[in-house]
Structure 1
């Protein structure tokens, strides 16, 4: 289990955010942020705080490894709501891609959520979030973060 060892430390983060998370034609907004992550429990837990200076809010992610299932839960909260959102759950494939899924709501609609972690090296990583409203037949990628080591 190496999990989120790569994300330990300080990172610069370039964000691309879809204006409407369910409308691929709604246009993208781009902005920068930075994050600092820390490993706990010999790597079985990772906590980071991300700061979005131009947006006026921060996010906090708690990632926990469950030895019984071999899966991670990823739990997100942001300073605007102060609420822990429903987790996504999954694991890293043999090729190093992390795939995590969960259920949530957006604009009053039930959505299936997918997080993908890819392109992981010592100095780079990519995260993307996608929503599906049709039972995972189609996905709308609505937030992409490109990480570079600070």
Structure 2
């Protein structure tokens, strides 16, 4: 059996310590446009499974909470699953799956729930360099025909 290995190492750019500027929509899917901006510090561990997995923890010091993302590469499907958990409840949300395109942007989608209602969830990774990266989360209530971005994270690598 031949396995595809094109996705191995896709998230290696994230290894290290990052200062993160978070911008989160206060009331997603309500039509309101108020945002909360707050800091974070993310630490992503070294290569796991030879680049086929990675794990990071983000601390939100002004919120008193933390988040954790586990990313796993499936070589048979040539796609990643991104799995998020937050410290207040300790539960994994349903994963989003996808891959990076030739332009270096990553798109990952999956089904989720927001306040008890089923939504389509999308993560986008862009602006990736040695010192920067950007992540966005959006929800869709019409099966991906339209999206509302509700959280952005701008990453700046910390020296060290």
**Taking structure 1 as the reference length, what is the TM-score of the superposition?**
0.97
The whole-number CA distance in structure 2 between the counterparts of 1:97 and 1:104 is 22
Map residues 58-69 of structure 1 onto 2, 5 A cutoff: 58-69=66-77
Aligned partner of 2:14 in structure 1 is 7
Deviation of 1:127 (Å): 0.1
Map residues 24-39 of structure 1 onto 2, 5 A cutoff: 24-38=31-45, 39=47
Deviation of 1:25 (Å): 2.5
1:94 matched to 2:102? The reply is: yes
Secondary structure at the aligned position of 1:42 is classed as: helix
Deviation of 1:42 (Å): 1.1
Gap runs ≥5 in structure 1: none
**Taking structure 2 as the reference length, what is the TM-score of the superposition?**
0.91
C-alpha RMSD over aligned residues = 0.9
Aligned partner of 1:46 in structure 2 is 54
Flag as ranges the 4+ runs of structure 1 deviating above 3 A: none
1:21 paired residue among 28, 46, 51: 28
Q: Answer 1 or 2: which has greater strand percent.
A: 1
Gap runs ≥5 in structure 2: 1-6
Aligned partner of 2:116 in structure 1 is 108
Deviation of 1:23 (Å): 3.0
Aligned partner of 2:150 in structure 1 is 142
Deviation of 1:26 (Å): 3.4
2:84 paired residue among 76, 80, 99: 76
Deviation of 1:24 (Å): 4.5
